[in-house]
Amino acid sequence: MQKLVEGVHRFQESIFRTDRELFERLAHGQKPETLFITCSDSRINPNLLTQTDPGELFILRNAGNIIPHADQPNGGEAATIEYAVSLLRIRDIIICGHSHCGAMQGLLTPEVLEPLPAVSQWMEHAKSTRELMKEKYAHLRGNALLTATIQENVLAQLENLRTHPAVADGLRAGSLHIHGWVYKLETGEVFSYDPGEEQFVPITAVSVDDSSGATTTDI
């Protein structure tokens, strides 16, 4: 705790003073253009990863970067999405998974979650990913299986995201675009799902397909 308190003091004495005008501006309201949905994992810092300032990202985090289907009970994800799209008028939604994801490891080995009933119940929102892995990826083992699970879960959650009314309306109107990313902790690489290639490819130059709202990436 002492480290956090010291950090607050350093923030107030250096960072806040340097960027005082920015923070004063933010006191009058926020205008983020992107909703960034990612895992609660402490190793991920969305603003650091995207090199964005306070006020530029609206962030939603939970175990496994999961978005329950609109018809299912949720822990506030639907409200956050609706607020971002309908009130803040964000233009893009990114669902970002990451390598070495403990939530996805738990999805593959549900027995390890038995002492964690709340987590086990939460992971049921990703059951479509678990079923897909059994059906199509039974030949994979170890890290290869985990990596495939992380990627497939991002795609599954994008489909769940589409069921939310505000998102569906934005996609139909062409005012909203959704993207699937995977961040590799150990290399700093970010991979974006390219629907044309039907795979995750490294982000080097990104464009948006206005008809589908998906990210495409030029290698």
- Left, alpha or beta for 115 (phi > 0: left; psi -120 to 50: alpha)? alpha
Q: What is the mean pLDDT of residues 96-117?
A: 96
Q: What is the pLDDT of residue 207?
A: 52
| Residue owning tokens 């044309």 | 196
Instruction: Tell me: pLDDT of 27 over 80.
Output: yes
| DSSP symbols for 92-123 | EEEEEEETT-HHHHHHH-GGGGTT-HHHHHHH
Position 206 scores a pLDDT of: 53
Q: What is the arithmetic mean of pLDDT over 174-194?
A: 97
Q: How far apart are CA 139 and CA 117, in angstroms?
A: 29
Residue 150 three-state SS: helix
Average pLDDT, the chain: 92
- Over range 94-99, report the average pLDDT: 98
Residue 28 has pLDDT above 80, yes or no: yes
For residue 139, the model assigns a pLDDT of: 94
135 pLDDT exceeds 60?
A: yes
pTM: 0.90
* pLDDT above 90 (res 216): no
Go through the domains of the chain in sequence order and give each one's CATH number: 1-29 (no CATH), 31-218 (3.40.1050.10)
Pairing of strands 190-194, 92-98: unpaired
- The per-residue pLDDT for range 29-80, each reduced to its tens digit, is 999 999 999 999 999 999 999 999 999 999 999 999 999 999 987 779 999 9
Task: Work out the number of other CB atoms within 10 angstroms of the CB of residue 30.
Answer: 13
| 152 contact partners, CB below 8 Å, separation of at least 6 | 129, 132, 133, 137
Question: What length is written for the chain?
Answer: 219
Answer whether residue 197 shows pLDDT above 70.
Answer: yes
Please report the pLDDT score of residue 73 as a whole number.
Answer: 76
Q: Between 81 and 208, whose confidence is greater?
A: 81
Report whether 104 contacts 149 (CB < 8 A): yes
Alpha helices (H) in the chain, listed in sequence order: 2-10, 16-18, 20-26, 46-50, 77-82, 102-108, 117-123, 127-136, 142-162, 165-173
Residue 210 has pLDDT above 50, yes or no: no
Mean pLDDT of 1-9: 93
What is the reported pLDDT for 74? 74
- Residue 6 pLDDT more than 60? yes
CB atoms within 10 A of CB 100: 15
- List Cβ neighbours of 102 (8 Å cut-off, separation of 6 or more): 41, 63
CB 202 within 8 A of CB 189: yes
Q: Of 94, 102, 127, nearest to 41 (Cα)? A: 102
For 159, half-sphere exposure in the C-beta direction (CA atoms, 13 angstrom radius) is: 8
